[in-house]
Amino acid sequence: MDAARQEQLTIGGLELTVTRKAVRNVHLSVHPPHGRVTLVVPLDTRLDVARAYAISRLRWIEQQQTTLLAQARETPRTFVTRESHFVWGRRYLLRVKEAEGKPGVTLDHKELTLTVRHGTAPEQRAQVMHTWHKSLLRATAEPLIAKWEERLGVRVRKLFLQRMKTRWGSCNPQSSHIRLNTELVKKPAELLEYVVAHELIHLIDPTHGQQFLTLLDEHVPTWREARAELNALPLGDNAWTVPQPKRR
């Protein structure tokens, strides 16, 4: 059997993609913008078993699709003067300044300034902004990682920053690598600490089982509120997955 074989299932009016992979747990996800549904199952899972599981979660799927379709979304950005941009949850008006020299971004208490050369295309302006987002996220995340390394007695070997379509963060416990979504720069800073703590706890427990939840409750007692706030904020141009909680 292929390591990642896909099949289509239709249940009533619902269509979903079933993918068999070398995983231990079932992963059911609903993807924006239109509520596409995917189900990842272990390699030896029969299709009728996958169908039965999806049927058992139909109400949850419908709830997630309704939530996604109703959730606010950011309008596409074109990086022009007086356009709204968010940094750490606060709205700033963008000022585009054309000048020779190295492109860059500066922020003061009132204004976000993007400096680019004359004639720079919107895609290039977006890349300059993303590079700045990465530098800002790294400068903020690294002290938080150090704080939680000491608190949890773990060690992060490498931090990666990138746009991620389906997650705010991820952890590879085998390599001790952490990935953070650069979209977090747009969200309130306290939510970044929740994501950092969440991912570092995965260095102790890579699952979302009871030990993981116990550690999260102990160290971040407000994590449910933080998660709800993060997931309620407007979606960016990259759409997120709404993951089905793993069965414990």
Distance CA 21, CA 175 (A): 21
Region(s) of the chain under CATH 3.30.2010.10? 84-243
pLDDT tens for 81-128 read 999 999 998 989 999 999 998 999 999 877 899 999 999 999 999 999
Which residues are bridge partners to 16 per DSSP? 9, 37
Q: Write the CATH number of the domain with boundaries 84-243.
A: 3.30.2010.10
Higher pLDDT, 72 or 240: 72
CA distances, 101 to each of 97, 115, 118, 121 (Å): 11, 9, 11, 16
Q: Would the pLDDT of 217 be above 60?
A: yes
Q: Percentage of the chain with pLDDT > 70?
A: 87
Q: How far apart are CA 85 and CA 48, in angstroms?
A: 47
pTM above 0.85, yes or no: no
φ, ψ of residue 118 to 5 degrees: the values are -60, 135
Is the pLDDT at 179 greater than 60? The verdict is: yes
Query: Distances in Å between the alpha carbon of 161 and those of 114, 145, 149?
Result: 21, 13, 18
Report the percentage of the chain scoring pLDDT > 90: 58
